[in-house]
């Protein structure tokens, strides 16, 4: 029972970060039908900015706005330089474009920084825990969960209460119709990339706090988590993406504690297999949005 | 007629030989010209990369499904090969704890290679079933993610299963008494790969796969089950990739998890798309260009070259020419081609096809006209009491018709009457909530209600689409040939006519070698009709065949449809909202309104029916 609760908190903490990443992936998929394999690069870029800023003696409190600004700006730049040129292209082209962006960004750091891992100091409280009875709770997990919930509420309000949110949801439901109804595709897409960058920025803060390091290929892992979580949730559904993030986090933590020691190191592999099975039996993800091709 | 021995076998084979000779020739002359050890090594790597890329092309090119997983299959093959081929004494040092007695296995490299390929094909079968279940089709995102998951799973397993793989860093130092000491196996594998890729693309399977790549729905509507073709393409493709991977391991003398991961995936995919993923010639061109470009970038980034007295590693150029320049080059190549030329330099251009077109007489006389069939067959289509509900909306309520082979039945009704939904039901694209339909002929009655669309079309119910669904990148002739390829699966039929003759009947003979997406609207409509007729249908279902046509074109279409149907002895069910067209073409007419049949009869009877007048003219119904 105790370990169950412990795992639950760990899983929710992990899942929170995945949920933020997945939501960013789903927002962009909604407006562009683009599965963004370059989403993790927002964390790579943020990581290098954090590495330099912390190296210059700045505090982690300054990192918070700095990382968010970096992530939003990077997201917008990537949209401008690459994705705006392939709008409406085939899915094949879109997938490989984002794959290409991933490689170019990591190659730039490989070229101008180095292939080696760059370490930076983590805030002191990241590893601290407090006890409730015999339950050890990481402060970090609690902070992540609370900040994520606040962010998700804010995002929900943005999507439900503003014109931009309405346009974005309309575009995600049916982009062509939305455009005919007067939604400006340019500003919706840019807004979606900004929102996606903002969410990734929050995720980046926590991801980097925990990792304490960055390297050119640092984006692969968070990208994969975000993309898989969004797929678990069904890609087209924003709510599904958040649920997918939590489901992925919980699945990882619980599998790691349940699997026998000899294969515990294969947890990620097992998670991939489970996800592949999910696609095989429910290709639309957990939350299926019915879209039939018109004939 | 397919298979055209020259076009589909001899020329592709000759083209493959020429491509192989050209490619190997370029590689070997580069090596001879430089004569250095590093040039020799570069050429070996390029030849092996070419095997892998040609292998990937078979799947990605013919199905249009982007796979990140082929390098994952390569990892499976590479490790299987390494573990089997390394001598027991070496294994005792590296992986003494290997399960299943693998550490004691002692076999020659070629047997090991055969087993490695077999093991990988088993994995490919499982993944292939998964891809099929996920509804894989051209550009499908879920399918791509499954392949990506495979790449990550193999990488994770390779890293975390040191008992077999030697783990993350150590690698399987690979000594079977020396690494690969001759290039002959590489040349053989490359030759076989190129020949396989070309012959598959021209084969029946390959053509059907490409049809589904171009338009999955239309292919299924013609009786193609794309999952079969995709599976065959996957297995062929993986077999060649695994041979390439095993040879790579053999040549390198070691294997590490990162050898078969993102970098190799990027490299092979860039090679594939730069030349043109839909073409074997393109794949090899891409391998050549990217190998050269990458090597140039690597050298420029590394060595202290000077151009016009300016050192590349000094200001102002040092910010470009740095170590690892080649990774930026690969990434930018992928990005640039996706943005400016997503189909690559050659698109689907093939050496042998070009040569075949050059020598084929373009003024070949049109085939003789086809006589109309004096159809002895008299199948009857009976559709009864079909209900279709979308949520709370009743699209069809108790709709039913009967139609006889050889007769033209019109269905008319205002927009939203349920006409297209009705055709969708009897072609398996929308499931009926209730009701039944069947075909009866001399052999008895078969109920077809639950059959998938590709079976319904094989059973003789073949449709066209309101919004035109041609296989755009294929020529007029190839489009029609797809129809007859499918039809011939079911054995000889009287209604199976020569595709070339059908093209001529449709008035498209002079356009036969043009791509379908270059045709004007009227010709596209006629092509869709000819393509459907080529499947030797029992019933042709035409969904608004005159939509977007002028009045005079519509009138001409009446004759076209009548003649085409009579040529293959099919019955016709045609839906339209153009009263003049429907009354002009039909023997009998059903009038639909709000999902039900409100009138039935000859054109005259229907035109005089007060209900119909009410629906069409808005006058008070009697």
Task: For chain B, say whether A101 makes contact (Cβ under 8 Å).
Answer: yes
Q: Count of domains in chain B?
A: 2
Q: Is the pLDDT of residue A294 over 60?
A: no
CB–CB of B286/B274 below 8 Å? yes
Residue B330 lies in a domain: no
pLDDT at A291 (0 to 100): 47
Q: Domain containing B188: what range?
A: 5-259
Q: Any idea of the CA torsion for B333, B337, B343, B344, to the nearest 10 degrees?
A: -50
> Which of B259, B288, B306 represents a domain boundary (last residue)?
B259
| Integer Cα distance of A40 and A21 in angstroms | 8
Q: Count of domains in chain A?
A: 1
Burial class of residue B29 (count of CB atoms within 10 Å of its CB; 0-12, 13-18, 19+): exposed
pLDDT at B492 (0 to 100): 57
Task: For chain B, say whether A281 makes contact (Cβ under 8 Å).
Answer: yes
Residues of B in contact with A41 (CB under 8 A): none
pLDDT at B239 (0 to 100): 98
| pLDDT tens, position by position, B434-455 | 999 999 988 888 888 888 888 9
Q: If we measure between CA atoms, which residue out of B64, B107, B106, B116 comes closest to residue B244?
A: B116
Q: Do B134 and A228 touch (CB under 8 A)?
A: no
| pLDDT tens, position by position, B559-618 | 999 999 999 889 999 998 888 889 899 999 999 988 999 989 999 998 888 888 887 766
Task: For chain B, say whether A280 makes contact (Cβ under 8 Å).
Answer: yes
Largest CA distance in chain A: 62
Residues of A in contact with B139 (CB under 8 A): 90-92, 95
Residue of A38, A39, A96, A263 for testing the chain B interface, max B β-carbons within 10 Å: A96
Q: If we measure between CA atoms, which residue out of B282, B147, B327 comes closest to residue A100?
A: B327
3-state secondary structure at position A265: coil
Residue B141 lies in a domain: yes
| Integer Cα distance of B488 and B481 in angstroms | 10
Query: Residue A1, CB half-sphere, CA atoms under 13 Å: how many?
Result: 2
A143 — pLDDT class (breaks 50, 70, 90): very high
Q: Do B342 and A89 touch (CB under 8 A)?
A: yes
Residue A246 lies in a domain: no
Residue B307 lies in a domain: no
Q: Do A272 and B152 touch (CB under 8 A)?
A: yes
Residue A179 lies in a domain: yes
| pLDDT tens, position by position, A47-94 | 999 999 999 989 888 999 999 999 999 999 999 999 999 988 888 899
Residue A164 lies in a domain: yes
Task: For chain A, say whether B126 makes contact (Cβ under 8 Å).
Answer: no
Q: How close is the nearest chain B Cα to the Cα of A203, in Å?
A: 22
pLDDT at A137 (0 to 100): 83
Q: Domain containing A72: what range?
A: 16-124+138-223
> Which of B259, B283, B301 represents a domain boundary (last residue)?
B259
Task: For chain A, say whether B149 makes contact (Cβ under 8 Å).
Answer: yes
**Which pair of tokens denotes residue B313?**
């590693």
Residue A249 lies in a domain: no
Task: For chain A, say whether B157 makes contact (Cβ under 8 Å).
Answer: yes
Cα-atom radius of gyration of chain B, to the nearest Å?
30
Q: If we measure between CA atoms, which residue out of B557, B548, B490, B493 comes closest to residue B529?
A: B557
CATH number of the domain enclosing B390: 3.40.50.300
Residue B494 lies in a domain: yes
Q: Do B339 and A97 touch (CB under 8 A)?
A: yes
As a whole number of Å, the end-to-end CA separation of chain A is: 54
CB–CB of A17/A175 below 8 Å? no
pLDDT at A200 (0 to 100): 97
Residues of B in contact with A116 (CB under 8 A): none
Residue B267 lies in a domain: no
Residue A2 lies in a domain: no
Choose between B8 and A205: higher pLDDT.
A205
Task: For chain A, say whether B111 makes contact (Cβ under 8 Å).
Answer: no
- Of A23-27, A150-154, A274-278, B305-309, the one with minimum mean pLDDT is B305-309
Residue B296 lies in a domain: no
| pLDDT tens, position by position, B331-344 | 999 999 999 999 99
| pLDDT tens, position by position, A163-192 | 989 888 888 777 778 777 877 888 899 999
> Which of B259, B274, B295 represents a domain boundary (last residue)?
B259
Q: Any idea of the CA torsion for B246, B274, A96, B130, to the nearest 10 degrees?
A: -40
């Amino acid at each position: 029972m105790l370990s169950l609760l412990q795992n639950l908190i760990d899983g929710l903490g992990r899942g929170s970060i995945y949920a933020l990443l997945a939501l960013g992936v789903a927002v962009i998929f909604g407006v562009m039908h683009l599965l963004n394999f370059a989403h993790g690069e927002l964390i790579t870029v943020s990581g290098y900015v954090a590495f330099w800023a912390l190296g210059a003696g700045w505090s982690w409190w300054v990192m918070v706005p700095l990382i968010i600004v970096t992530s939003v700006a990077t997201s917008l730049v990537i949209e401008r330089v690459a994705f705006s040129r392939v709008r409406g292209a085939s899915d094949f082209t879109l997938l490989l474009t984002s794959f290409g962006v991933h490689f170019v960004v990591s190659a730039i750091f490989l070229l101008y920084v180095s292939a080696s891992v760059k370490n930076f100091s983590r805030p002191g409280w990241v590893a601290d825990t407090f006890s409730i009875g015999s339950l050890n709770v990481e402060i970090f997990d609690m902070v992540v969960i609370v900040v994520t919930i606040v962010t998700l509420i804010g995002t929900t309000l943005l999507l439900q209460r503003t014109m931009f949110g309405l346009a974005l949801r309309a575009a995600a439901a049916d982009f062509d119709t939305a455009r005919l109804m007067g939604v400006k595709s340019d500003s919706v897409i840019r807004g979606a990339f900004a929102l996606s960058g903002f969410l990734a920025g929050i995720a980046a803060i926590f991801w980097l706090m925990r990792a304490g390091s960055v390297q050119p290929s640092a984006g692969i892992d968070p990208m994969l988590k975000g993309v898989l979580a969004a797929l678990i949730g069904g890609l087209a559904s924003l709510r599904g993406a958040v649920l997918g993030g939590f489901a992925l986090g919980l699945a990882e933590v619980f599998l790691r504690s349940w699997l026998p020691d000899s294969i515990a190191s294969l947890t990620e592999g097992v998670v991939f297999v489970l996800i592949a099975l999910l696609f095989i039996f429910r290709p639309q993800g957990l939350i299926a949005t019915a879209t039939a091709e018109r004939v | 007629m397919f298979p055209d021995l020259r076009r589909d076998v001899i020329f592709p084979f000759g083209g493959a030989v020429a491509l192989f000779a050209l490619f190997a020739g370029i590689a070997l002359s580069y090596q001879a010209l430089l004569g250095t050890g590093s040039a020799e090594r570069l050429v070996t790597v390029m030849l092996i990369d070419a095997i892998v890329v040609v292998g990937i092309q078979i799947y990605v090119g013919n199905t249009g499904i982007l796979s990140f997983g082929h390098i994952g299959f390569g990892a499976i093959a590479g490790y299987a090969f390494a573990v089997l081929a390394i001598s027991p004494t070496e294994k005792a040092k590296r992986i003494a704890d290997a399960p299943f007695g693998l550490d004691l296995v002692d076999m020659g490299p070629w047997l090991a290679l055969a087993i490695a390929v077999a093991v990988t094909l088993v994995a490919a079968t499982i993944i292939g079933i998964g891809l099929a279940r996920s509804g894989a089709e051209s550009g499908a995102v879920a399918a791509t993610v499954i392949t990506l998951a495979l790449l990550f799973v193999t990488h994770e397993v390779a890293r975390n299963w040191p008992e077999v793989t030697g783990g993350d860093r150590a690698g399987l130092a690979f000594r079977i008494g020396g690494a690969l000491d001759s290039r002959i196996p590489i040349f053989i594998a490359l030759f076989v790969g190129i020949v396989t890729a070309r012959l598959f693309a021209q084969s029946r399977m390959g053509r059907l796969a490409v049809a589904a790549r171009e338009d999955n729905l239309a292919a299924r509507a013609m009786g193609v089950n794309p999952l079969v073709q995709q599976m065959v393409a996957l297995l062929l493709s993986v077999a060649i990739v695994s041979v390439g991977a095993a040879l790579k391991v053999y040549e390198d003398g070691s294997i590490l998890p990162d050898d078969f991961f993102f970098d190799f995936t990027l490299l092979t995919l860039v090679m594939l798309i730069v030349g043109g993923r839909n073409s074997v010639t393109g794949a090899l061109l891409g391998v050549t260009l990217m190998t050269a470009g990458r090597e140039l970038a690597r050298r420029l980034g590394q060595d202290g070259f000077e151009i016009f007295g300016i050192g590349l590693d000094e200001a102002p150029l040092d910010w470009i020419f740095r170590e690892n320049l080649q990774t930026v080059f690969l990434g930018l190549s992928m990005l640039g081609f996706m943005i400016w030329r997503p189909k690559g330099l050659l698109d689907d251009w093939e050496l042998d096809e070009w040569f075949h077109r050059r020598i084929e007489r373009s003024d070949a006389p049109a085939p003789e006209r086809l006589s109309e069939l004096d159809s002895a067959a008299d199948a009857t289509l009976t559709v009864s009491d079909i209900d279709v509900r979308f949520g709370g909306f009743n699209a069809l309520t108790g709709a039913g018709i009967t139609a006889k082979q050889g007769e033209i039945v019109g269905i008319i009704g205002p927009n939203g009457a349920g006409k297209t939904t009705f055709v969708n039901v009897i072609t398996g694209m929308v499931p009926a909530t209730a009701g039944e339909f069947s075909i009866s002929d001399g052999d008895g009655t078969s109920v077809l209600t639950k059959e998938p669309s590709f079976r319904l079309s094989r059973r003789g119910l073949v449709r066209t689409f309101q919004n035109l669904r041609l296989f755009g990148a294929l020529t007029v002739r190839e489009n029609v040939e797809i129809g007859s390829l499918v039809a011939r699966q079911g054995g000889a039929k009287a209604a199976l006519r020569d595709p070339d003759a059908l093209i001529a009947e449709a008035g498209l003979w002079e356009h036969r070698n043009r791509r379908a997406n270059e045709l004007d609207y009227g010709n596209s409509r006629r092509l869709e009709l000819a393509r459907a007729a080529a499947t030797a249908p029992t019933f042709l279902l035409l969904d608004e065949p005159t939509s977007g046509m002028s009045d005079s074109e519509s009138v001409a279409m009446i004759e076209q449809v009548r003649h085409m149907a009579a040529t293959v002895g099919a019955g016709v069910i045609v839906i339209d909202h153009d009263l003049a067209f429907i009354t002009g073409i039909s023997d009998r007419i059903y009038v639909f309104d709000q999902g039900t049949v409100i009138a039935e009869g000859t054109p005259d009877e229907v035109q005089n029916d007060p209900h119909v007048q009410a629906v069409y003219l808005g006058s008070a119904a009697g």
